[in-house]
């Protein structure tokens, strides 16, 4: 289930390394590039926020399987390589992602218990990494047009993943029905924990904004600066660092329980911007890795903190709300970044975008969740 979700998000991320080729074929300006991401985020976030308000646990299997079919249709539209096909494909990706995010989380928690709360967060980043790297390799070495090959290939993989899901969910039908039946229609967040939950949302939103900016701006901005290593590998390295940080969390719980990812993000961004100013690949890559490490910790901690204590049947609603808020905030900043890019140029717009993210991370540092706050035996955040 988490693997199918990773496959879905791999397709949404595969667009990033292909942006320079798409820009050449379609003459895309910075605002259009930003709108490709905003057009994906708006339907995704809208659906996530809607699903967070209703009881949809029993529909989780159908929603997850349907999302794979919608993804395949989106792939075909993007493979047409037209402005309208790109925008409509990204819109459908948003619908598929919104339907899959909460449902995948509910089904994983139903299968493996509370430790599944953050599996979807890690799985989504792994899927994004595989999507970026696969598209990058196809762009460099494929004998056929890489854009068409990438997305038609992903359409076929999505359909196969959907077929596999049908088999697995059929075998787990009775177990899922029992696991997802409990819990109230709505869970009430304790008023005493409102500030804590806002801090978790802020931490996750900042992390996702930093990652979204990498998708939207790194290939073209570093290309304009003539920094080919950062252009070709920057997004992939940020994703690798994010996944690595999440897998290292158990060790960090023992040796540094006070860690918060929001402390690393501004430091990484400072290195990243310094690398861009001096055209230093070493500084830029170091900043990307450090930022990615902070993003991985901050996003996972925020998600675990926000969903801690929720009933299995309500996990999807909490994950949907958390993800939806982070996507809405990132969509707003990406849109503003696209407008600034049209007025100035892409490079200063990217620098301004990440400067705002660094300041926000610094402001959030003192209230953001720490690793010690997200132990499984911690005080629940929600009432049954």
pLDDT at 270: 96
Alpha-carbon distances, residue 50 vs 55, 102, 165, 166, 328 (angstroms): 10, 11, 24, 25, 13
Q: Is the pLDDT of residue 359 over 90?
A: yes
Range of the domain at 355: 2-383
Model confidence pLDDT, tens digit, residues 30-66: 788 888 888 888 888 888 777 666 566 667 778 888 8
Q: For the chain, first and last CA: distance in Å?
A: 26
pLDDT value at position 53?
62
Q: How many beta carbons lie within 10 A of that of residue 370, not counting itself?
A: 17
Structure tokens given for 105: 């989380």
Q: What is the CATH number of the domain that holds 129?
A: 1.20.1250.20
Closest CA relative to residue 75, chosen from 19, 16, 157: 157
The pLDDT score that the predictor gives to residue 187 is: 45
Give residue-wise pLDDT tens across range 257-291. 787 888 899 999 999 999 999 999 999 999 999 99
In contact, 52 and 321? CB cutoff 8 Å: yes
Q: What is the pLDDT of residue 314?
A: 64
So what's the pLDDT on residue 257? 77
Across the range 57-85, mean pLDDT stands at 87
377 has pLDDT over 70: no
Range with the lowest mean pLDDT among 126-130, 192-196, 250-254? Answer: 192-196
CA distances from 268 to 262, 264, 330, 362 (A): 10, 6, 19, 12
Q: Is the pLDDT of residue 123 over 60?
A: yes
For the residues 210-223, what does the mean pLDDT come to?
89
CB atoms < 10 A from the CB of 113, how many?
12
Whole-angstrom CA distances from 105 to 76, 118, 120, 124, 292 are 27, 8, 6, 11, 23
pLDDT of 381 reads 33
pTM: 0.74
Domain count, the chain: 1
Q: How confident is the model at residue 379 (pLDDT cuts 50, 70, 90)?
A: very low
How confident is the model over 14-33, as pLDDT tens digits? Answer: 888 888 888 888 888 878 88
What average pLDDT does the segment 200-219 reach? Answer: 89
Q: For the chain, give the mean pLDDT.
A: 80
| pLDDT score for 153 | 92
Give me the count of residues in the chain: 384
Mean pLDDT of all residues in 303-327: 73
Looking at per-residue pLDDT, the higher value among 58 and 218 belongs to 218
Residue 125 pLDDT: 72
- At residue 360, does pLDDT exceed 90? yes
Q: What is the pLDDT of residue 88?
A: 95
Q: How large a percentage of the chain has pLDDT more than 90?
A: 27
pLDDT above 60 for 96:
yes
């Amino acid at each position: 289930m988490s693997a199918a979700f990773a496959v879905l998000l791999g397709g949404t991320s595969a667009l990033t390394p292909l942006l320079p080729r798409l820009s050449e074929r379609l003459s895309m300006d910075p605002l259009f590039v930003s709108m490709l991401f905003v057009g994906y985020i708006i339907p995704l976030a809208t659906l996530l926020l809607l699903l967070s308000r209703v009881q949809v646990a029993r529909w989780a299997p159908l929603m997850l399987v349907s999302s794979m079919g919608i993804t395949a249709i989106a792939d075909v539209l993007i493979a047409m390589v037209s402005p309208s096909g790109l925008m409509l494909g990204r819109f459908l990706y948003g619908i598929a992602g919104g339907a899959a995010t909460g449902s995948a989380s509910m089904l994983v928690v139903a299968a493996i218990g509370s430790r599944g709360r953050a599996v979807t967060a890690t799985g989504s980043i792994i899927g994004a990494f595989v999507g970026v790297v696969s598209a990058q390799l196809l762009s460099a070495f494929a004998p056929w047009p890489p854009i068409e090959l990438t997305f038609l290939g992903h359409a076929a993989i999505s359909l196969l993943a959907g077929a596999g899901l049908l088999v697995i969910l059929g075998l787990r039908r009775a177990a899922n029905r029992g696991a997802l039946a409990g819990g109230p229609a709505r869970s009430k967040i304790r008023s005493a924990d409102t500030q804590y939950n806002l801090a978790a949302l802020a931490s996750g939103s900042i992390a996702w904004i930093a990652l979204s900016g990498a998708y939207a701006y790194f290939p073209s901005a570093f290309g304009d600066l003539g920094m080919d290593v950062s252009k070709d590998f920057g997004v992939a390295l940020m994703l690798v660092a994010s996944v690595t940080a999440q897998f290292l969390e158990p060790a960090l719980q023992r040796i540094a329980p006070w860690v918060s990812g929001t402390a690393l993000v501004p430091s990484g961004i400072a290195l990243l911007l310094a690398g861009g100013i001096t055209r230093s690949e070493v500084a830029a890559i170091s900043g990307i890795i450090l930022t990615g490490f902070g993003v991985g910790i901050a996003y996972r901690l925020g998600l675990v903190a926000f969903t801690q204590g929720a009933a299995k049947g309500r996990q999807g609603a909490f994950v949907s709300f958390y993800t939806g808020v982070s996507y809405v905030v990132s969509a707003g900043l990406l849109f503003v970044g696209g407008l600034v890019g049209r007025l100035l140029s892409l490079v200063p717009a990217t620098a301004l975008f990440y400067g705002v993210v660094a300041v926000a991370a610094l402001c959030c540092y003192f209230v953001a969740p720490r690793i010690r706050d997200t132990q499984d035996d911690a005080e629940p955040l929600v009432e049954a």
